[in-house]
Amino acid sequence: MKTILITGASGDVGTHLRRELAAKYQIRASDLRDLKEKIKGQKFVRADISKFSDTLRITKGVDAIVHLGGYSVEGPWEGILSANIIGCYNVFEAARRNGVKRILFPTSNHATGFYRRDQTIDHRVYPKPDSRYGVSKVFGEALASLYADKYGMEMFCMRIGNVNAVPIDKRRLSILFTPRDLAQLVTIGIEHPAIRFEIVYGVSRNKRSWYDNSNAYRLGYKPQDDSEIFAADILRREQPGDRTAEQYQGGMFVVAEEIPNPAPLPKSSRPCRTNR
């Protein structure tokens, strides 16, 4: 059974993923915060990804890495820089030094958030980040490309929509990514024998999707869920939002300077480091 490191394992996405993959892999769960949910047989290793010594320690002896760790929303540059730029570099470089060839990098829909909602985009579009957070995800994609071409590593970038069992608003009808579809795509990223450098969209098969996800389907992805079953109820309750935000795929990220951090650190660890 392969050993998979999941950084940012205490966050919502990491918790969903650990639950879904528990029977498939030996999971090494890492975060700066305590795990919200402990799963039998999974090892927790505390680490701060902004410290290279920590990333060297946690990446040793694993078969693949799912790098979820980072600042998960738009926020102050200091926090984005420390967790998402320095932290991403540290994880990739530590993996290279420890001989870990395959990394799954959950990038974000916010790497392309300034495309309009009336556009359908694929994995080949030029990045149009909607935030400093989005910029950090574009950085991670570029770094993954470098490590694939320069060092022969295998990099699987997933532009994640919104991981949840149920969409919470109109925008998320287009970007819903259910936990079981997340687990399927991550499994492809771990197991597919022909990965070198790929960008795919981490979304379910939503009728209202803004994405041509044919690159994921080419690799065998067959999502099971569609947000449309929730559409009537959500649209009935939806209230008008910010007019600028409503034009773009990134939603409020295109206008917000800072969004409350859904996963704040303990006070002793603030202000700038957090793992999603």
Domain ranges of the chain: 3-269
Return the pLDDT at 31: 97
Please state, in angstroms and rounded to a whole number, the distance separating the CA atoms of residues 201 and 180. Answer: 15
Return the pLDDT at 56: 98
pLDDT at 267 over 60: no
pLDDT band of residue 265 (cuts 50, 70, 90) is: low
Tokens 């820089």 correspond to: 81
Return the pLDDT at 259: 84
Q: Which CATH architecture has domain 3-269?
A: 3-Layer(aba) Sandwich (3.40)
Residue from 71, 115, 133, 221 carrying the catalytic annotation: 133
Average pLDDT, the chain: 94
Return the pLDDT at 215: 98
Return the pLDDT at 260: 80
Q: Which parts of 42-178 fold into alpha helices (H)?
A: 52-58, 77-80, 87-97, 132-151, 170-175
**Burial grade of 47 (CB within 10 A; 0-12, 13-18, 19 or more):** buried
Does residue 133 have an active-site annotation?
Answer: yes
Per-residue buried b or exposed e for 173-209, using 16+ beta carbons within 10 Å of the residue's own CB: bbbbbbbebbbbbbbbbbeeeebebbbbbbbbbbebb
Q: Which of 171, 169, 196, 199 is nearest to 185 (CA)?
A: 199
Q: Which of 117, 123, 120 is nearest to 216 (CA)?
A: 123
pLDDT at 29 over 70: yes
Return the pLDDT at 274: 34
Q: Which parts of 129-238 fold into alpha helices (H)?
A: 132-151, 170-175, 179-191, 214-218, 231-237
